[in-house]
Amino acid sequence: MRAQWISRIRRGMGAACVTFVFAAVGMASDRVAVPEGTVIELQTTSSLDSKTAQQGDTFSTTVVRSIYVDGILAIPQASSVDGRVTNARPAVRDSQSGVIGVEFFRLRLPDGTSYDLSGGLTSLKPGERGDNSGRNNVFIGGSGKTVIGALAGGLFGTGSGMLNSLLSAGSEAQLPAGSNIAMQLVNAITITPTDPQTQDPDETNRRTVYTSTRMVRSAQTALHDRDFYNGSINGQLDRQTRQALADFQSQNGQPVTGDLDQQTAAQLGLIGSNQGSEWTDRQLAASIYRKAQSLQKNYESSLGIQVNDIRAGLTSDRLLTEGDLDLLLQANSFSNAAAWYQQATANAPNVEGPRIAAHILESSAQRVEAGLLRTQQNSQFRQQWAGIQSDLNRVGVNNSEDNNSGSVPDYNSGQASSTGHFQWQGLVDGSDNIRLHGSRVDMAHLTAGQVQQATYQLSSALPLSPVQVTLRKVRGRGQILLLEQPTASNNYTAVVQVNDQDAWGSAWYEFTLDW
């Protein structure tokens, strides 16, 4: 037995060493991706005139409004964006208007860091933006002022209606220094923020968009439930998702940007309407890692041993059960998985890395849950674990062993009290089942949007024997129902359904179970 445990601990320490090296390399940068289609408001610092402009001429602009991605300052106000003239045609009096085609190719942050980008011209008015990411937009000389138009089928091809009349007005396209214009990113750009933790201090200068896989997936679900989106729930802010967001914004009287901005996220029920900013995946990942480290350290202290030196525990007079040691090993494994998840979330250039790390974190959390049912009562461990579970729920990691079937394994072990108290709370938009089995809590999502900000407190494990539980609704505008009492037929699981699907948006729900 001792040899088996030492072997398992050594394997665990090997993972810890790999994690240390990974952390030393991976945490050197903290990048944020500004997604394709993001609109950035600019002001010109040099002039353009179709009479004198030549293909290849460059011009400069400054960023008028800061861009925040998931609450992190990505592009500060006063950054500069360089552009170039792609085509130019002077006006012919009374018959042909001047036209200037432009593209944007470089971003410079205030600290001097520069990034290549691909951006197209778009309208400052959200309702006038098309779905071509500004690729075909040009400046056109009009009667009295220069306007922006989209020329399809060739840059200087003839249009119809209003566009045709503009093209034949015979005026030069002129853009003085100090003109306000807008650029739309043709491709995403990944930036290392100069101060990644800075939150937007000024509501009037807010241009916050949410791009994390978790938030986009929640938005896709909410849009699908409202018949705006019929694509896959993949967490990608692609063209179909942007179009659905734009349609939702248009119908709800919002600026039509196609971005998952703060106002849209609030109206979809993804964040509180008065919430300054949503916790980002980075912040949640860091919180999970800190709590996992504390959990392991405190459990080691309670057992009187350390995971990297268990000889004292195995040779002392104090009786440590296999369950105690297994839970210690699982806590160590979870801490390593949390470190991986933190690094992947902070540094991965695409969603695949965080997805893999989240899956590993989920599997590790399930093993901790299983270990809890096999060991002695440790109220401090359970209390700390409840806080971790809250963060896991917020990043969409399910720590139950079976998220779909509703069945849970019968361990027929673990300490439980004949009396206990369970309290649950969260933002609900639709119907969800909350299941309590022993000390394990999981949720089965039924309809509408996913539960947000779910937390719970559990005084002691629900007995794995027949017991009568009493439900008390604390708050919530819809129904809270006790669907199942814990019996042998459901493996001694209490099931509560929270039903908000008859109302618009999400609402806060809270209930308690006592036995």
Tokens of 192: 């290392």
Contact 223, 268 (CB under 8 A): yes
Q: Percentage of the chain surpassing pLDDT 90?
A: 14
What distances in angstroms separate CA 324 from CA 348, 381, 426, 453, 462, one per listed residue? 35, 12, 32, 31, 20
Other CB atoms closer than 10 Å to residue 321's CB: what's the count? 11
How many residues comprise the chain?
515
pLDDT at 149 over 80: no
Q: According to the model, what pLDDT value does residue 116 have?
A: 93
pLDDT tens per residue, range 68-110: 887 678 898 889 999 999 988 898 877 788 889 899 999 999 8
Element at 122 (helix H, strand E): strand 114-122
- The answer for 55, left when phi > 0, alpha when psi is -120 to 50, beta otherwise, is beta
11-15, 38-42, 92-96: range with lowest mean pLDDT? 11-15
Q: Which CATH class is domain 32-195?
A: mainly beta
When pLDDT is averaged across residues 163-178 and rounded to a whole number, the result is 73
Where residue 345 falls among pLDDT bands split at 50, 70, 90? confident
Mean pLDDT of the residues in the chain: 75
pLDDT, greater one: 83 or 171: 83
pLDDT tens per residue, range 227-267: 889 888 888 888 889 889 988 888 777 777 788 887 788 77
Residue ranges of domains in the chain: 32-195, 414-515
pLDDT, greater one: 132 or 397: 397
Contact 474, 251 (CB under 8 A): no
Distance separating alpha carbons of residues 89 and 92, to the nearest angstrom: 9
